[in-house]
Structure 1
């Protein structure tokens, strides 16, 4: 029951998020190959949508920018759907200056196809070679634009050397906190309702959380963000 969870989790947070503007990005992006095909990833958007929903219930003014997802946008949230990394970047940069907190839970494609075909590429007997070029690094750009009153949280979904990569990302991208999860573990990857995460902060501290639902984790992540802002 949503309300019971709100009360329990609201007590954990011990404060509302009233008056705060929060931007959440969620799901994966799709990079077109031709009018029919695209390159994508396995992100469902569940974690980002759970964070947006929890923040709205706690009174924040929430904007959710999402790549393609089967999920329904949560009630009370300003929602924008995008396809590609470049579309997401444009919207995020527009909304960022007015936000207090940004949580980038989207799995943005690192690469896009260099020459997108206007027509469907026909199958032939030869192999097909796609040349990929790097997409803009939205999180890094936000880290460079970030003002002292803004809190920026990133995600690191890895299959190996989780803490090493997450720590590097936290520093390189000027984040306040990073949510690290090993997506190779059962019950902790894409398309499942639970997650197993570690929270790394700028002071070097690492908080390891037990396996729990993404909906519960959403409240804990928001609680830790609020503590960072005190």
Structure 2
């Protein structure tokens, strides 16, 4: 029997965050949001009930605007996700949330006075980690690992630390990842099995990721059926 994602409640984060130094300056990254939006569009077309929490992006999307929650900072994204954590079947953490934010943020534009300034940073909220502590056995959590070195080792560490069911791995190479329409990924599952994919359009990559989620969902369903039989 084919596994369906129709009517499954799915939370997706996408895009970058902006951590403001003052009203016109911020810390951010190169994430375009294209991968997260491609996944959201594909799942919506499959009949899933998708909630998309998006950082600031400039892309055209077919995903319904009324199902998109727009935020700026990592903390805003965390607070919006927090509202849905308990009720989702699947969470896909595709957003590139800034790891650090300014310790203080000025309400007015900081004037250029000195040749050098010191900017104090503090660790930002790790949304996927916080969700990992709350995740139940019936929920599926998907993470992303963009690494420049020790890709597999670092991805396995992230998989375990954040209680992911699978991690999508990639590197910021030419024509891949941030800002591009294509991506070359590998997917590592909780049993540490790995599936490598060739360079593809992000819409195709989204379908590969969804197929891996379905495999994981089938495994959980089988385990649940075995447990029911044992109880019976």
Normalised by the length of structure 2, the TM-score is 0.90
Which deviations, in whole Å up to 9, do the C-alpha atoms of 1:73-111 show, x marking residues without a partner?
A: 433461001000000000111111111011000000110
Partner of 1:41: 29
| Secondary structure, counterpart of 1:52 in structure 2 | helix
Aligned counterparts of 2:76 and 2:62: Cα–Cα separation in 1: 21
Partner of 2:129: 140
Aligned counterparts of 1:76 and 1:61: Cα–Cα separation in 2: 11
1:59 to partner: Cα distance? 0.7
Aligned counterparts of 1:169 and 1:39: Cα–Cα separation in 2: 23
Could you say what the CA RMSD is over the residues aligned between the two structures, in angstroms? 1.2
Query: Does structure 1 residue 82 correspond to structure 2 residue 90?
Result: no
Aligned counterparts of 1:32 and 1:206: Cα–Cα separation in 2: 38
Aligned counterparts of 2:61 and 2:53: Cα–Cα separation in 1: 10
Partner of 1:161: 150
Partner of 1:116: 105
Contact 1:46 1:214 in 2 (8 A): yes
Which deviations, in whole Å up to 9, do the C-alpha atoms of 1:26-57 show, x marking residues without a partner?
A: 00100000011111100000000000000000
1:223 to partner: Cα distance? 1.1
Partner of 2:96: 107
1:178 to partner: Cα distance? 0.3
Contact 1:153 1:175 in 2 (8 A): yes
Contact 1:28 1:40 in 2 (8 A): yes
Contact 1:27 1:46 in 2 (8 A): yes
Query: Does structure 1 residue 131 correspond to structure 2 residue 128?
Result: no
Aligned counterparts of 2:81 and 2:22: Cα–Cα separation in 1: 25
Partner of 1:9: none
| Unmatched 5+ stretches in structure 2 | 219-232
| Secondary structure, counterpart of 2:41 in structure 1 | helix
Match of 1:18 among 6, 14, 18: 6
Aligned counterparts of 2:149 and 2:176: Cα–Cα separation in 1: 13
Match of 1:178 among 153, 156, 167: 167
1:115 to partner: Cα distance? 1.1
Partner of 1:32: 20
1:222 to partner: Cα distance? 0.7
Query: Does structure 1 residue 93 correspond to structure 2 residue 90?
Result: no
The alignment of Structure 1 onto Structure 2 pairs a total of residues equal to 216
Partner of 1:149: 138
| Secondary structure, counterpart of 2:209 in structure 1 | helix
Shift >4 Å, 4+ stretches:
none
Aligned counterparts of 2:143 and 2:30: Cα–Cα separation in 1: 18
